[in-house]
Amino acid sequence: MYYLNNNIVFPDVSTANEHGILAVGGDLSVERLLEAYKRGIFPWFESGEPILWWSPNPRFVLYPKNLKVSKSMKQFMRNCNYTVTVNKAFKTVISSCSKIKRTGQDDTWITNGMIDAYVKLHELGYAKSVEVWSNNKLVAGLYGVDVGNNVFCGESMFTTESNASKAAFITFVQNTNYKLIDCQVYTNHLQSLGAEEISRDTFIKYL
């Protein structure tokens, strides 16, 4: 296992273990985060753990042209009274994501330090949020990082109403110029929307 120090240097992603863990330690400075994302690496760890840096193989991604929207979801989006915005409430979105209880996860991986780090990325124009509003109340959202070259790395989403986060994701994908949405690791939910696995090498080429 590679242990990071104060130098902003990562090992080659090919050295990640079978689970995708590449390195341990370091910090969540803007400089280190940007270097990580440029190399296909992202932080993911639970509160109380050291920072873990990941570069899984295969990588789970969505090509926007392959987005799948079911007939029932199309009908839902036509009839709902949601308003979808971008970058109107970034800190509220990431904070809401940190509070969502997830199956098989004892604690949040979106720590206060993580929130502060991504708010800084947002202020510099790298991190983006998508919000869903119902009667001026925030009911769902997602956030991620624009890593350049028309690639967006999705980080997390939350919802307080059924299908609201799905509406956020679909609206974002349909109205974007990104050629690739990084979903990082497999989920049934995102596969149902058209996401697929590609090799890490293929993903890195997009970056």
For residue 21, give its domain range.
2-58
Give the pLDDT of residue 100. Answer: 78
Q: Does residue 22 sit in the same domain as residue 81?
A: no
- Long-range contact pairs involving 69-76 (C-beta distance under 8 Å, separation at least 24): 69/170, 69/193, 73/163, 73/166, 73/167, 73/170, 76/163, 76/167
Q: Does residue 49 sit in the same domain as residue 93?
A: no
Q: Does residue 50 sit in the same domain as residue 83?
A: no
Q: Does residue 32 sit in the same domain as residue 64?
A: no
For tokens 């190399």, what's the residue? 39
Provide the whole-model pTM: 0.93
Give the pLDDT of residue 95. Answer: 97
Structure tokens at 90: 């970034």
Q: Does residue 34 sit in the same domain as residue 114?
A: no
Per-residue pLDDT of the chain (207 residues; tens, 9 = 90+): 899 999 999 999 999 999 999 999 999 999 999 999 999 999 999 888 899 999 999 999 999 999 999 999 999 999 999 999 999 999 999 999 999 764 444 445 799 999 999 999 999 999 999 999 999 999 999 999 999 999 999 999 999 999 999 999 999 999 999 999 999 999 999 999 999 999 999 999 999
Give the pLDDT of residue 101. Answer: 64
Q: Does residue 78 sit in the same domain as residue 162?
A: yes
For tokens 């090799």, what's the residue? 199
Q: Does residue 84 sit in the same domain as residue 165?
A: yes
Q: What is the CATH number of the domain that holds 175?
A: 3.40.630.70
Q: Does residue 90 sit in the same domain as residue 155?
A: yes
User: What is residue 168's DSSP assignment?
Assistant: H
Q: What is the CATH number of the domain that holds 16?
A: 3.30.70.3550
Last residue of a domain, one of 58, 73, 88: 58
What element of type H or E holds 99?
Answer: helix 90-99
Q: Does residue 121 sit in the same domain as residue 193?
A: yes
Q: Does residue 133 sit in the same domain as residue 191?
A: yes
Number of domains present in the structure of the chain: 2
CA distance readout (Å), 76 to 15, 72, 130, 176, 188: 45, 6, 18, 21, 20
CA distance readout (Å), 116 to 9, 85, 95, 111, 150: 22, 22, 10, 9, 25
Residue length of the chain: 207
Q: Does residue 139 sit in the same domain as residue 185?
A: yes
Q: Does residue 82 sit in the same domain as residue 99?
A: yes
Distance CA 131, CA 142 (A): 7
Examine residue 58 and say whether the peptide bond preceding it is cis (omega within 30 degrees of 0). yes
